[in-house]
Structure 1
Amino acid sequence: MLIEHESGAATNYITRTKALKKLQLPLKDFRRLCILKGIYPHEPLHKKKVNKGTTENRVYYYVKDINFLASEPIINKFRDYKIFLRRLTTAKAKREEDRVKRLYERRPEYQLDTIIFLRRLTTAKAKREEDRVKRLYERRPEYQLDTIVKERYPTFASALRDLDDALCLCFAFAILPHTKIVKASLVAACRRLTAEFNNFIIESHSLTKVFISIKGIYYEAHVMGERLTWIVAHERGVGHVTEVDFSVMATFAEFYSAMLSFVNYRLYQSIGLFYPPQIAYSSSNQKVQSSVDDEEEQEKVYSLARPLAKRPDADNEPMPDIGIAEGEQSELAEGIRDEARRKKLFLNCRFWINREAPKDMLAIIVRSCGGTVSWDNCPGLPYSEDDKRITHHVIDRPLNGNVNINRVYIQPQWVVDSFNMRRRLPIEKYLPGVALPPHLSPFTVDTPGQYVPEERIEQLKELGHDVGALLGEKQPEKKKKKKVVEKSETSGMSVDVGKTHKENKQKKLNEEGHDLKMREMMIAKRYRRVYHKIKRGKKKQAREVNTLKMKRAKLAAESVE
C-alpha cells in the first residue's frame, strides 16, 4: 500500500534545508559547492505532492544530486577545517602555546575557501606579528579545480559547447576593479586567459561576425565545428558595482577561468602554437622569447598587435576532426570560400589606430584578415605613425590640419562593416566627421514577413541575392503552352455577342474569409490552441513591422524638412 507524500514525485525532491542538514554544511559552502559541481535547484511540477499538501515557496533539489554531492571529497575538507578551528580555539583559551603551534603545523589544506585565511592574516597584520604573517602566507590555501573540470566536461567538445558563458564572464571580470570579493589574482587570470583566447582567434582566422551595440561588442567564431558567441564590454572605466552579488559571480568566474585554461591549451596545441604564448620575432637568428618570464613580453601578448611563434613540428600535425556529416559538402565548400575571403580581406594593409578608437576590436578584425595594426604606446611598437607604408588611418574624431595624402582616413565602423560584408566598402560614407550609415547586425536572419531595412535590401542586391521574397513580391507564374486545336468547320453553328462580367473583389474577400473560418472550425480541439497562438504571433509580428515602417517614414519626413 502506497503512503501519501512518501512515494512518486515526493521522493524525487529534497528541500535545501534538509540538504544542508544531510551534508552538514553552512549555506555559503553549500552554494559554492553546487556552483563548482554544476548542481542547480529544480521546480517540481506538483508542489503539493512534494511539499506534503502545502504550496509554500521553497527551494528544491533532486535527491540524486544531493547524494552525488555527499560523496564529494571536498566536503571532508570542510569538516576537517571545522575540527581544526574548534581545537585551535580550545588551545588558545587554555593558553597552550605548544599545542597551538602543533595545530598550525598540522593544519588541513582547505582548497576552496580562503575567507578564514584572510581573516587570520588581517589579525596578524594588525598585531604586527611578522612571523605569523609569513607562516600564513606559506600555508595559503590553493585552488584545485582540475578534477571538477574533468568531471563536468569529459570531452573537449562538451567544453566547447559550454564556452559561451565562460567567455562572457571572463571578459567581464577582466575589466573589473579588484575588491574584497573580486580578488586581484582572479582579475589578472581572466585578463590573461581572454588575451590568450583572442590571440587564438587571430592566428586561426576563426572570427566570422562582429557587431557593435550599446551593451558591448558581439563576436562570433567557428572553432572546431562549434559556433561560439560572446560579448565584450566597451573600453571605459568601471566603478564599484553594488547591485550584483559578486560572491556568487566570483565563484562562477573561478571555475570558468580554470576551464578556459584547459581549453586554451588544447586550442593552441591544435594549430601548433606554443602555450603559454610566445611572441615571434622575424630577426636573422629567428629569436623567440618567452612571454611568461618577462613582463614586457607579456604586455606584447596582451596588446594583440604581434604574431605568435609556432612550434617547429606544427606543420606535421593533423587537422582536428570536426565530424562532417553527409549532405554538408556544399556548406563546407561555402565555408572554405568564406574563410579564404576573410584571410585576404586586409592583406598587405597597414592600419594606424588613433587613441580614441577601440584597439582590441580593430586588432582582432584586421589581423584575422591578414593586415597589421599599430598605435601610439603599443607594447613592442611594430611601426610608428610616420611610417610611409601605412595605408589606413582609423580615427573617431574630426580631422585636424595634419593630413597625409598617401593614406586613407576612415572611421572604425568601416572596418567592421567591411568584415561583415567580406569586401572593402567604399570609404566615402565612412570619412571622419561624416554621418555614418546604419550599422546592421550580421546576427539577424532575413525572413519574409519581418522588417528588413532598405540598406539591408541594397546590400543583398549588391551581393546578388534574390530579394523578391523579402519585399513580398509574388513570383510571376509561368505561362503554360496551350495545345493547338485544329479548327474544324461545322455547319449550322452560330456565335452570339455575350456580356462581360466584372469580378467583385469584396465578394471574393468575403468568400475567402468564410472559407477560412470554416477550415478553422474543422481543426481538432487539441491543435486549436496551438493554431491560435501561431495566429497571434503573426499578428504581433505584422504590427511590429508596421510600427517600424511608420517610424522610418517619420524620420525620413523630418530629414527632408
Structure 2
Amino acid sequence: MVSKRKKKYTTGEGAQFMTRKAALKKLQLSLNDFRRLCVLKGIYPREPRNRKRAQKGQSGIKTLYHVKDIQFLLHEPIIWRLRDYKIFNKKVGRARAVKDFESLKKYLNNHPTLKLDHIVKERYPTFLDALRDLDDCLTLCFLFSTFPSIPHVPRDQSALCQRLTIEFLHAVIEAKALRKVFISIKGYYYQAEIKGETITWIVPHHFAFEPQSKAEVDFKLMSTFVEFYTIMLGFVNFRLYHQLNLYYPPKFSNLTQTDSEKEIVDEGVFVSERVAALNFPLSRTTNSAIEEEVEIDNFNTEDNPEKIEEARIEAEKIKKLKTLFKGLKFFLNREVPREPLVFIIRCFGGEVSWDKLLFVGATFDENDESITHQIVDRPSMEKQYISRYYVQPQWIFDSVNARELVPVNKYFMGEILPPHLSPFINEGRHQEYMPPEEKALYDPTALEELHNKGESDDEEEEEKETEQVDTTNEQVEEEVEEEEEVEEEETSSAKKKLKVTPGEIHKEVPWEKSRQERQEYKLREKLVKNKHRKLYKSMMAGRKERAKEIWLLRKKRRLHDEKQKEEKKAKKKQQKLASVS
C-alpha cells in the first residue's frame, strides 16, 4: 500500500501557528475584546523560526499566535462575559434611540460585571509567583495613582491604585523590607526583599499632569493592564497584612479625632488621610510582632566556607540596616518631598514629622528639642537650633545605600552635594566606566585614596611654592658637584691605562612581542566560522563603542576635576588677598 502524501503546511510550523485574523474568526471576538482577553490571560504573539512556513507561504510580516494558546482561550469564561457586554451595549443603544427610558434604566441597573479573581489564581498559583511578577504591577499602579480623571482612565481606577499602593508601602514599613533607594529623572527607585524575593519598582515625581497626544500613549491598553494588576495587588496586600498580623483594611490602634476634625470629616475620610500620611503604626491582630530571623543553611561548609561566611556577613548587615535610623527624629521642611522621605525614614526605624498646618499626620512640632535632623533644601535659614543637624534630602538616600550613617558635613545647607550613585549597578561589570566615587563604595582602599587625593591637592600647591625656592639652591649645588666630577674624571683617566669592556645583555624588543601577539590574534579570528562571523563582528563593534564611551567619560571627568582645581585656586587667592587687605 502506498501511503497518502500529506498536504503542505499541515505539519510542523505551518500547523503550530495561527494569524491574528484567524484567531479572531475562531474566537468570534472583536479586535478590542481579543486584545483585552490576551492582556488578562497573559497571551502574547510568538516569533517562529521560519516565518514563511508559519504563514503558510504568505508574504509580509503578520502577527502570529500559537494554536495551543488560542485553544486555551476557547475555554475561558470571560469570553461569554465579553459577549454579554456586546449584547448589553446593543440593548442600551436601542433603548436610548427609541427613548425607552424605563428599559434603559433596567438595563443599566443590571449591567454585566467582569470578575478576574480566577485569572489571578490561575496565573499565580502560589504567593511567591505573584511576588516575582510584582515589579511591573507596582510601577504601573504607582503611575496611575498620579493620574486625574482622563479618557479611558476613570477616576475610580486612579483612586483604587492610590489606595492599594499606599497599603503596600505600609506593609513594607511594618516588615522593614526596604533595601535600596535611588533618585532618578524618571522618579524614585525602590527595592524591597519580601520572602526572599527582590522587588524593584519606580514611583514617579509628583509633577502636574501633562496631557499626552493619542498617538504617543495608548491609555486604553494600559488601563486594561491596570484592571488586572489592581486585583493582583489586592491579593498580595491581603496576604502580606495577614502574615504580619495586621488588620486588612488598615486600622489604627491609638488614634482619636479632635472636636474640630469630627465636625469637618467623617471616620472613613479621617482614617484614609492618616493612612496616606504613612506616619502612624497600624493596628495588629495580636500584641506581638512577627520578626523573621534569617537562618543560614550550613550545607557544604567544607566545599564553600567563604560563601557561608559572606552570607552570614550580609545577614548581619541587613539586620543592622533595619535599625539604621532608630532613635533619630527628623523634621521635614515644606520644600522637600514628603512621601518618599517619610516612607524611607519609617522603614528604618526613625521618627518623622512636618508642619501640621500643611498636611495631616504630624506627630511633633518644629520647636521640639529632641529633633536630631532637619531636612531642608534651601541655602540658608533665619532661625536654627544648635541641637540638630540641618541636612539636604540626599543624605537620607546615600545613608541607606551605604548601609550606615554617612558624615553629614558634605550635606549641610548650601553645600555642593557629592554625586548620587545608583546602587542597582553590578559591581563586577566589565567594559563600563566607573567613577572614583563609585569605586569607593565597593573598595574601602579607594575611599581612602579619594580622601587623600583632596588633601594632596592642597598640599601640592604649598609644595610647589617651596619647590620653586628649593630648585634654585639645588641648581647651584648641582653645578658645583658637576665641576668637581669633571676634575676627578680627568685625573682618573690619566692614571688608568687598562680598559675592560663589559658583555652586552640581550634585550627583548617590546614592539616585536606586541606584533607577534597581534598576528596570533588575527589568525584566531580567521578560525571563526562563517555562520558566526556576523555575530563576532557586531560584538567587536560593540566593544569598540564601549571603549570609546569610557574614554570620553574619563576625559570629561578629567576636565571637570581640572576646572574644580582652578576654581579652588582662584577662591584661595581671593581669600588671601582679602586677608592681606
Smaller-chain TM-score range?
Answer: 0.7 to 0.9
Aligned residue identity for 1:511: Q
Is the 1:13–1:50 contact (alpha carbons within 8 Å) kept by the matching residues of 2?
Answer: yes
* Residue 457 of structure 1 pairs with residue 439 of structure 2: yes
Is the 1:342–1:368 contact (alpha carbons within 8 Å) kept by the matching residues of 2?
Answer: no
Give how far 1:534 is off.
Answer: 4.5
Deviations 1:28-83 (Å, cap 9, x if unpaired)? 11111111111112233322222232322322211111111111112223334445
Computed over aligned residues only, the root mean square deviation of the Cα atoms, in angstroms, reads 3.3
Structure 1, 47-56 or 186-195: larger mean CA deviation? 47-56
Aligned to 1:338: 317
Aligned to 1:207: 178
* Residue 387 of structure 1 pairs with residue 368 of structure 2: yes
Structure 2 CA distance for aligned equivalents of residues 298 and 93 of structure 1 = 42
- The structure with the greater share of residues assigned to helix is 2
Aligned residue identity for 2:46: H
* Residue 279 of structure 1 pairs with residue 279 of structure 2: no
Structure 2 CA distance for aligned equivalents of residues 216 and 349 of structure 1 = 26
Deviations 1:221-249 (Å, cap 9, x if unpaired)? 11111111111111211132233111100
Q: Secondary structure at the match of 2:252?
A: strand
Work out which of the residue numbers 50, 55, 74 in structure 1 matches 2:54.
50
Aligned to 1:511: 516
* Residue 545 of structure 1 pairs with residue 550 of structure 2: yes
Are residues 28 and 282 of structure 1, via their aligned partners in 2, closer, same or farther at CA, if it must alter by over 3 Å?
Answer: closer
Q: Secondary structure at the match of 1:509?
A: helix
Is the 1:395–1:411 contact (alpha carbons within 8 Å) kept by the matching residues of 2?
Answer: yes
Is the 2:91–2:107 contact (alpha carbons within 8 Å) kept by the matching residues of 1?
Answer: no
Structure 1 CA distance for aligned equivalents of residues 402 and 391 of structure 2 = 17
Aligned residue identity for 1:506: W
Give how far 1:4 is off.
Answer: 1.6
Aligned to 1:166: 137
Structure 2 CA distance for aligned equivalents of residues 318 and 143 of structure 1 = 38
Structure 2 CA distance for aligned equivalents of residues 10 and 419 of structure 1 = 55
Give how far 1:264 is off.
Answer: 0.9
- Percent sequence identity over matched residues? 41
Which entry has the higher C-alpha Rg, 1 or 2?
A: 2
Structure 1 CA distance for aligned equivalents of residues 266 and 198 of structure 2 = 30
* Residue 434 of structure 1 pairs with residue 442 of structure 2: no
Give how far 1:314 is off.
Answer: 5.2
Aligned to 2:473: none
Structure 2 CA distance for aligned equivalents of residues 349 and 524 of structure 1 = 64
Are residues 212 and 463 of structure 1, via their aligned partners in 2, closer, same or farther at CA, if it must alter by over 3 Å?
Answer: farther
Q: Secondary structure at the match of 1:273?
A: coil
* Residue 25 of structure 1 pairs with residue 29 of structure 2: yes
Are residues 140 and 466 of structure 1, via their aligned partners in 2, closer, same or farther at CA, if it must alter by over 3 Å?
Answer: farther
Is the 1:446–1:452 contact (alpha carbons within 8 Å) kept by the matching residues of 2?
Answer: no
Deviations 1:238-261 (Å, cap 9, x if unpaired)? 132233111100010110010000
Is the 1:47–1:54 contact (alpha carbons within 8 Å) kept by the matching residues of 2?
Answer: no
Structure 1, 512-521 or 364-373: larger mean CA deviation? 512-521
Q: How does 1:304-453 map to 2 (within 5 A)?
A: 304-312=278-286, 329-376=308-355, 377-447=358-428, 449-453=431-435
Are residues 199 and 89 of structure 1, via their aligned partners in 2, closer, same or farther at CA, if it must alter by over 3 Å?
Answer: closer
Q: Secondary structure at the match of 2:26?
A: helix
Give how far 1:350 is off.
Answer: 0.6
Structure 2 CA distance for aligned equivalents of residues 322 and 282 of structure 1 = 40
Q: How does 1:163-242 map to 2 (within 5 A)?
A: 163-242=134-213
* Residue 558 of structure 1 pairs with residue 563 of structure 2: yes
Q: Secondary structure at the match of 2:316?
A: helix
Q: How does 1:116-127 map to 2 (within 5 A)?
A: none
Deviations 1:334-393 (Å, cap 9, x if unpaired)? 332122221221111111111221212111211111101111234232111221111111
Aligned to 2:460: none
Give how far 1:296 is off.
Answer: 1.1
Aligned residue identity for 1:544: E
Deviations 1:444-490 (Å, cap 9, x if unpaired)? 123355322112233444488999xxxxxxxxxxxxxxxxxxxxxxx
Give how far 1:415 is off.
Answer: 0.6
Are residues 320 and 281 of structure 1, via their aligned partners in 2, closer, same or farther at CA, if it must alter by over 3 Å?
Answer: farther
Is the 2:187–2:203 contact (alpha carbons within 8 Å) kept by the matching residues of 1?
Answer: yes
Give how far 1:513 is off.
Answer: 2.0
Aligned residue identity for 1:269: H
Aligned to 1:250: 223
Structure 1 CA distance for aligned equivalents of residues 373 and 318 of structure 2 = 23
Is the 1:177–1:239 contact (alpha carbons within 8 Å) kept by the matching residues of 2?
Answer: no
Aligned to 1:112: none
Structure 1 CA distance for aligned equivalents of residues 536 and 62 of structure 2 = 36
Structure 2 CA distance for aligned equivalents of residues 94 and 228 of structure 1 = 54
Are residues 223 and 331 of structure 1, via their aligned partners in 2, closer, same or farther at CA, if it must alter by over 3 Å?
Answer: farther
Q: Secondary structure at the match of 1:294?
A: helix
Aligned residue identity for 2:436: E
Are residues 219 and 92 of structure 1, via their aligned partners in 2, closer, same or farther at CA, if it must alter by over 3 Å?
Answer: closer
Give how far 1:211 is off.
Answer: 0.8
Aligned to 2:260: none
Aligned residue identity for 1:355: R
Is the 1:280–1:306 contact (alpha carbons within 8 Å) kept by the matching residues of 2?
Answer: no
Give how far 1:265 is off.
Answer: 1.0
Structure 2 CA distance for aligned equivalents of residues 204 and 74 of structure 1 = 36
Are residues 212 and 94 of structure 1, via their aligned partners in 2, closer, same or farther at CA, if it must alter by over 3 Å?
Answer: closer
Q: How many residues align?
A: 495
Structure 2 CA distance for aligned equivalents of residues 53 and 280 of structure 1 = 69
Deviations 1:180-213 (Å, cap 9, x if unpaired)? 3111111011001110111111111111111111
Aligned to 2:469: none
Q: 5+ residue gaps in structure 1? A: 105-119, 121-131, 284-290, 468-495
Are residues 324 and 545 of structure 1, via their aligned partners in 2, closer, same or farther at CA, if it must alter by over 3 Å?
Answer: farther
Work out which of the residue numbers 472, 483, 498 in structure 1 matches 2:503.
498
Q: Secondary structure at the match of 1:415?
A: helix
Q: How does 1:10-89 map to 2 (within 5 A)?
A: 10-83=14-87
Aligned to 1:303: 277
Structure 1 CA distance for aligned equivalents of residues 92 and 186 of structure 2 = 50
Q: Secondary structure at the match of 2:202?
A: strand
Are residues 313 and 382 of structure 1, via their aligned partners in 2, closer, same or farther at CA, if it must alter by over 3 Å?
Answer: closer
